[in-house]
Structure 1
Amino acid sequence: MRPAAGRSRRPVQQPPGIVFLPVPDAPTLQWALTWRSTDDNPTIRALAETAADLGPIAM
């Protein structure tokens, strides 16, 4: 079984006192995956490629 779009397969680890509060009528936000060029490595490149393959995800 595949998870629903925008849903994680595992629970999100949240620090104590931090909660996820959806705001259904909020405008869509755009985010980008970034990293320091000095930290470039195959693992980060694989993550970036996977994120690009997935495309936008509505949450």
Structure 2
Amino acid sequence: MGEMKDKAKGLGNEIAGNAKQMSDDPKTRAEGKAQETKGEAQNLKGEAKGAMGNKV
């Protein structure tokens, strides 16, 4: 179950980050890039859990 939870959180952060990157405000764009990167890392964590049977 941890795998799917991490992947879902990751996807949410990637989507929110992408939306923020469309802003005209440079600070908001930077926050969006950071949030997208966080989402990508969460997704990778979920994939690792899946490959290792949720033991990570």
Q: Could you state the TM-score of these two structures normalised by the residue count of structure 2?
A: 0.33
Higher helix share: 2
Give me the TM-score of the superposition, normalised by structure 1: 0.32
Highest relative contact order (Cα 8 Å, sep 6+), 1 or 2? 1
Q: Based on CA coordinates, which of the two structures has the bigger radius of gyration?
A: 1
